[in-house]
């Protein structure tokens, strides 16, 4: 066996006359894998004579060797091109993402500002709380928290004022405006109580019917519904007064208002029952206490003279099943003062109850 090695692959060369192994020669013949100069035999020194026997055939000038494998230089160029393309794509992605995020943030800021403006217009604790819940990290959270504290403090002061001496209309306004507040239930109860007190002061069939109607419409809680029904039934059973009873009642009331118009009240005591359930704002009072209270009021207000003239033609009188007379009437009330105070001349509305002996047991001046 030959010990000659192939310079290309290191395998043994079988034929001593060949420079390369059969495998390498086969690859070159099939694919032109190696340069022809590698396999060509060494040429003798060039001479001017031409060796026709060893001359190689002339090849077409256009014939070229098969494409050689891609060189490292071409690979590097392709890598650079792809790197540039990838960089451009990454840059476009970052730019587009940044732009979209900017647009999103701008839209979010506009929505937050609109929501905040609406909270300011509404100006309630709930509106500010809704803003905080929706934008817990919003620009106006601190201001919203401050506004909630301020709103709650103002609301508490308003409620304390209404609870102390608010009218029925003021309570209704509070309920309509501050429905979602901690004071709503208490205000609803206060409205119901106030409406009942007002109905009781009037103490008429109409006043109790009004309370019952409002309860039916859910305007009132109806805590006093049972009492209102009893009162309404009581008045519904009453009979209108007429004939001799009317004349006796009319004479008694004319005398009553004459005595009330006098500063000395000589016969006023005889017109009242021993215990008067209601006299204006006073409860369970005796005739002597009534006279003392009236004199004190005349002195306090510096009243020189007072005249009360009832309109008997417009008087309404009913009699209940216990023999009590319930009277509703209007009167012209004129007051003169000792000092240069302007005279008072107003129409007053009275609710009067007399027992079966025509003694006054209740006398209320109703507010318009």
The per-residue pLDDT for range 51-60, each reduced to its tens digit, is 444 444 444 4
Residue 61 has pLDDT above 60, yes or no: no
Q: CB of 256 within 8 A of CB of 267?
A: no
Q: Which of 110-119, 338-347, 354-363 has the lowest mean pLDDT?
A: 338-347
Q: Are residues 208 and 256 in the same domain?
A: no
Helix (H) or strand (E) holding 326: strand 325-337
138, part of any domain: no
Q: What is the pLDDT of residue 96?
A: 77
Query: Which class for 293: exposed (0-12), middle (13-18), buried (19 or more C-beta within 10 A)?
Result: middle
Q: Are residues 245 and 332 in the same domain?
A: yes
The total of structural domains in the chain comes to: 3
Considering the domain boundaries, does residue 65 fall inside one? Answer: no
CATH code of the domain covering residue 325: 3.10.450.50
pTM recorded for the entire structure:
0.51
pLDDT in tens, 131-179: 999 999 999 999 999 999 999 999 999 999 999 988 999 999 999 999 8
Query: Please, are residues 130 and 119 in contact by the beta-carbon 8 Å criterion?
Result: yes
Q: Does residue 79 have a pLDDT over 70?
A: yes
pLDDT > 90 fraction of the chain, expressed in percent and rounded: 51
165 or 41: which carries more pLDDT confidence?
165
Domain-located, residue 253: yes
Between 4-13, 120-129, 153-162, 247-256, the lowest mean confidence (pLDDT) is in 4-13
Strand 360-366 vs strand 303-310: parallel, antiparallel, or unpaired?
A: unpaired
Q: Are residues 276 and 229 in the same domain?
A: no
Domain end call among 210, 236, 262: 236
pLDDT band at 63; cut points 50, 70, 90? very low
Higher pLDDT, 101 or 90: 90
Inter-residue contact 201 to 349 (CB < 8 Å): no
Residue 55 falls in which region: left (phi positive, over 0), alpha (psi -120 to 50) or beta: beta
The pLDDT of 268-295, averaged and rounded, is 94
């Amino acid at each position: 066996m030959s010990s000659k090695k192939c310079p290309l692959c290191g395998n043994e060369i079988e034929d001593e006359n060949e420079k390369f192994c059969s495998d390498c020669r086969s690859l070159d013949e099939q694919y032109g894998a190696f340069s022809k100069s590698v396999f060509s035999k060494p040429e003798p020194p060039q001479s001017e004579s031409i060796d026709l026997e060893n001359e190689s055939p002339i090849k077409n000038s256009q014939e070229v060797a098969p494409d050689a494998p891609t060189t490292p230089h071409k690979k590097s160029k392709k890598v650079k091109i792809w790197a540039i393309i990838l960089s451009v794509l990454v840059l476009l992605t970052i730019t587009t993402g940044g732009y979209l995020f900017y647009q999103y943030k701008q839209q979010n800021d506009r929505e937050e500002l609109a929501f905040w403006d609406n909270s300011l217009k509404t100006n309630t604790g709930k509106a500010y709380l809704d803003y905080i819940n929706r934008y817990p990290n919003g620009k106006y959270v601190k201001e919203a928290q401050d506004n909630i504290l301020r709103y709650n403090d103002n609301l508490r002061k308003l409620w304390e004022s209404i609870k102390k001496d608010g009218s029925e209309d003021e309570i209704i306004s509070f309920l309509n405006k501050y429905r979602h507040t901690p004071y709503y239930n208490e205000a609803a109860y206060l409205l119901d109580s106030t409406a009942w007190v007002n109905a009781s002061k009037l103490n008429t069939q109409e006043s109790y019917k009004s309370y019952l109607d409002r309860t039916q419409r859910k305007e009132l809680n109806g805590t006093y519904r049972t009492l209102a029904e009893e009162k309404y039934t009581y008045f519904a059973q009453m009979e209108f007064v007429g004939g001799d009873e009317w004349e006796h009642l009319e004479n008694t009331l004319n005398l009553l208002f004459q005595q009330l118009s006098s500063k000395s009240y000589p016969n006023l005591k005889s017109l009242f029952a021993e215990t008067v359930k209601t006299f204006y704002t006073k409860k369970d009072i005796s005739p002597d206490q009534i006279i003392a209270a009236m004199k004190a009021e005349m002195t306090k207000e510096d009243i020189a003279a007072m005249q009360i003239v009832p309109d008997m033609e417009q008087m309404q009188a009913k009699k209940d099943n216990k023999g009590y007379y319930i009277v509703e009437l209007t009167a012209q009330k004129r007051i003169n003062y000792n000092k240069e105070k302007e005279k008072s001349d107003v129409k007053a509305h009275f609710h009067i109850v007399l027992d079966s002996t025509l003694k006054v047991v209740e006398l209320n001046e109703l507010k318009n």
